[in-house]
Chain A
Amino acid sequence: MHPSVAQTPGAQAHVAEDRHIALICAKGGLDECYPALILANAARASGIEASIFFTFFGLDVITESKVDHLHVNLAGNPSSPVPTVVAGLPGMERLASTLMLQRMKQLDLPSAREMITMLSGAGCKLYACELAMKMFGLTETDLLPEVDGVLTAEDFYEVTVGAQIVFT
């Protein structure tokens, strides 16, 4: 941040006018989708333009029937507090998801659905990947109403000219 801009009380002491962050959300785990959502929200709260491109399992976050049922699976995750052989047992995925949701509630973190609503209200653009929709047999009516459009990868590049693209 330029010091003269920051010190002037009347300045919009945030960021350059034309900064744009484009995030790609490719994973649908409860723990895996939040980075994109939180980064986009923080960008908007800082006055930076933001868009999110949901692809492959990231589509779960914007699918009406799946957004309230995101799971976390700790199997195969080297950072997991639980060894893989235990994390893979039946019921462990549901247990881990329940615990994570409880923790999120204690911290008053918004649910994925609420994040999508907030992001849309904040002016973040939300796009679905056309190829992934075909792979999963989804149509626009299966998506949340906040989604702004279905794009191919080329379309995504067109709408994010000049943006910093972040893959999560």
Chain B
Amino acid sequence: MNAPSDVSARLDRVETQLGELLAVTRGLADQQAAARRTRDELLADAMPVLTGLSDAAVQRFADLEARGVPDLGRAGLRVAERVAQGTSVEDVDALADSVVAILDTVRALTQPEVLALAQEAGHVIEEADEAAPAGVVGLVRASRDVNVQKGLGILVAVLRHVGRASRVLDKKAQAVHRDGPSAGPPTRRTAPPLQVGARPARPTPPQAAPPAAFAEVGDPRFDRQGFLVDPQGWTEALAEAIAHDLHLNPYTEAHRAVVAAARADWQDRGQSPNVRRLSAVTALEVQDLYALFPKAPGRTVARIAGIPKPAGCI
């Protein structure tokens, strides 16, 4: 049975706890109120600024609209659409390959001097109806003017450059047509080659393991310089063996064709063909012969073909 003192003690405790709960609740409510006040104040302060910003943005857009910039943007989008329809991925790739050349060209064309000249030319063409027609006599008279002489000099220089570039392109196109994309005539190198002690790279055949030498030193079939003593003792197999011994790997059909042509020419004319004659009978360019048989093609072909060493200076 609880004594009344217990009950009152308990009631006191409950009262205390209720009081604490009330205090906590009151504190929370105060915090909420304070937070709301802060938010309101913030809004009140920020509102004019936000209003001002949105007004400025609207004004700006209205200006642009008046000046036609959005219309331009829409027209630009239409152009972009048309470009996307008309070009393919390959076109863009090709463009990427030439982008440096294109940028160089654009840079050259937009130099101030070039632009000034182009503008002058443009003005003159604009006023073309004011220019008097000139016959032959007029031309002669005009060529006495120093400005006309300078202009003629510029035109001649342009013609020379364009003609020269065109001839180089023609030669390249002929070489590609005849020999495939890898061949081509020698092109000018514009920078002076200042590599001290450097040697130009020679085309080296792939380094396959060379077969064991097929003949010993002093083999009576060959003379001191490695040429076959008796040309009648030549066979295709011997030719291939000599070629491998000379590190010509792989010994391809192209090599065989040149060797056969050399041997045939020797049989016709009684003298071994030199590089120039080989170029004539095989219709290969000199650089192709040097590519097939590096280092002394005339001699190398003669050794493989089992014919005497070519004589003569050319």
Contacts and interface: CB of A to CB of B under 8 A. Distances in A.
B218 interface: yes
A107 to B, nearest CB: 9
Interface in A1-27: 1, 3-4, 6-14, 18, 20
Contacts of B279: 118
Contact of A158 (B185, B194, B276, B313): B194
A9 B219 contact: yes
B274 interface: yes
A4 B226 CA distance: 11
A45 B296 contact: yes
Among B185, B226, B275, max chain A CB count under 10 A is at B226
Contacts of B168: 145
Contacts of B213: 8-10
Interface stretch (A72-80, A82-90, A95-103, A119-127): A119-127
A41 to B, nearest CB: 7
Contacts of A7: 217-218, 222, 224
Given A123-B202, A145-B187, A159-B195, A117 B286 contact: yes
A14 B299 contact: yes
Interface in B176-231: 185-200, 202, 213-215, 217-219, 221-222, 224-226
Interface string B72-96: 0000000000000000000000000
Interface residues of A, number: 45
Contacts of B299: 14, 45-47
Interface residues of B, number: 51
B210 to A, nearest CB: 8
Contacts of B287: 120-123
A158 B164 CA distance: 30
Given A122-B286, A150-B192, A159-B194, A45 B186 contact: no
Contact of B161 (A45, A110, A123, A141): A141
A20 B199 CA distance: 9
B226 A9 contact: yes
Contact of A6 (B199, B224, B285, B298): B224
A137 to B, nearest CB: 13
Among A4, A8, A117, A120, max chain B CB count under 10 A is at A8
B193 A8 contact: no
B251 interface: no
Contact of B188 (A38, A140, A158): A140
A147 B226 contact: no
A155 B192 contact: yes
A13 B226 contact: yes
Contacts of A158: 194-196
Among B196, B215, B295, max chain A CB count under 10 A is at B295
Contact of A45 (B190, B242, B246, B274): B274
11 contacts: A6-B225, A8-B217, A10-B215, A10-B245, A47-B296, A110-B276, A123-B200, A123-B287, A140-B188, A141-B164, A145-B187
